[in-house]
């Protein structure tokens, strides 16, 4: 058995209808946008125009189809690779680029890592580097919604490596005990940076880890948008009806590096990459649309050009936005700045003015 095949273990899968046929062109467009945006951001980091990036190539179907199955009122607790989720939620490209750059348009005011974006307006919680922390936050928010009788679910995203973290086990235990309306969405991309899935755990699947906490687990082919959509819709319906949480393991593959600080050629074989690349989720959905007559190769090339133009325009706007004002460092610590903070702010002001040498 190859390393790639070893990661494709089976478990109960969701039944029911797949994605609405009329939505498939829009879903493909979003997946393609995520792929092209991903490629552009990798290039921007290599050029020194953004400082850091975590790619998602290979995980577009798992993310876009999952987000498609949610409602705008649901709260998303991402890890740091969920660009596809952000696009479905409606976060504008310019907003994302502003956060990648950390300019004055960044709603986080340049205080996060370049790839740790978020938006309260879109119920997309800001990402954090420590793995697993978002899991317990999602459970806590679900408990609050439950007590307020707010008919929503929370969903949290993480990778295969995070299933070995303390917060994963604490989160599932609390969710199981309190029967929270939470969806745990594990994107098993087969590698926790350089550690392969088979060295991560002896569990037959990652989804089965929920059994000990009374949380049902489901394994789906994360390269199949229809399978992901079915699993998430079923989990959401179950949560809202009082059935409690669900752990979904979407078996995918990270086609790119873990981050722009990683070189996957040091630990992955070309044969493994070729096996998984043959299952490319973007090409898979494209093939379905071509076979059904909803897309032609000419249409696809035109769409790619349109999306590249859209990405380019958003990037141009973000790069033309001024840098963050250094004086904002004193904001948002307290609802009202203290006298001492005001004094320190005024002391810094001469050094933060344009042309002072302390401001770009």
What are the catalytic residues? 254, 258, 267
Q: What is the DSSP letter of 207?
A: G
Q: Is 184 helix (H, G, I), strand (E, B) or coil?
A: strand
- Name residue, tokens 């604490």: 170
- Tokens encoding 295: 């897309």
- N-term to C-term CA, the chain: 55
Are 135 and 167 contacting, i.e. CB atoms less than 8 angstroms apart? Answer: yes
CA 130/CA 159 separation, integer angstroms: 12
Are 46 and 260 contacting, i.e. CB atoms less than 8 angstroms apart? Answer: yes
CA 276/CA 140 separation, integer angstroms: 36
Q: What is the DSSP letter of 171?
A: H
CA-wise closest residue to 14 among 272, 288, 220: 220
Q: How many other C-beta atoms lie within 10 A of the C-beta of residue 173?
A: 16
């Amino acid at each position: 058995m190859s390393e790639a095949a070893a990661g494709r273990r089976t478990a109960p899968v969701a039944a029911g209808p797949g994605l609405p046929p009329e939505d498939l062109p829009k879903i493909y467009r979003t997946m393609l946008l995520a792929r092209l945006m991903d490629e552009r951001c990798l290039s921007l980091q290599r050029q020194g125009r953004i400082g850091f990036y975590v790619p998602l190539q290979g995980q577009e179907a798992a993310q876009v189809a999952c987000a498609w199955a949610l409602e705008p009122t649901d709260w998303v607790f991402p890890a740091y690779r969920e660009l596809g989720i952000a696009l479905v939620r409606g976060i504008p490209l310019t907003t994302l680029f502003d956060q990648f750059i950390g300019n004055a348009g960044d709603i986080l005011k340049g205080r996060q890592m370049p790839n740790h974006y978020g938006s309260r307006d879109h119920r997309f919680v800001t990402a954090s580097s420590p793995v697993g922390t978002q899991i317990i936050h999602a459970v806590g928010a679900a408990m609050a919604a439950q007590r307020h009788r707010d008919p929503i679910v929370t969903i949290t995203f993480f990778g295969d490596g995070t299933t070995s973290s303390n917060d994963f086990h604490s989160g599932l235990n609390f969710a199981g005990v309190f029967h929270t309306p939470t969806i745990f969405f594990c994107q098993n991309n087969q590698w926790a940076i350089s550690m392969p899935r088979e060295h991560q755990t002896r569990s037959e699947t990652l989804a089965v880890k929920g059994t000990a906490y009374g949380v049902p687990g489901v394994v789906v082919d994360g390269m199949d948008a229809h399978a992901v959509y079915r699993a998430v819709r079923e989990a959401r319906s179950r949560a809202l009806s009082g059935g409690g949480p669900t752990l979904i393991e979407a078996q995918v593959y990270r086609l790119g590096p873990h981050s722009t600080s990683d070189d996957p050629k040091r630990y992955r074989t070309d044969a493994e990459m070729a096996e998984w690349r043959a299952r490319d989720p973007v090409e898979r959905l494209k093939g379905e649309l071509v076979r059904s007559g909803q897309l032609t190769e000419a249409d696809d090339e035109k769409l790619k050009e349109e999306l590249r133009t859209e990405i380019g325009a958003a990037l141009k706007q973000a790069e033309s936005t001024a840098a963050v004002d250094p004086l904002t460092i004193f904001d948002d610590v307290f609802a009202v700045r203290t006298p001492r903070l005001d004094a320190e702010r005024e002391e810094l002001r001469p050094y933060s003015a344009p042309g002072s040498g302390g401001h770009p």
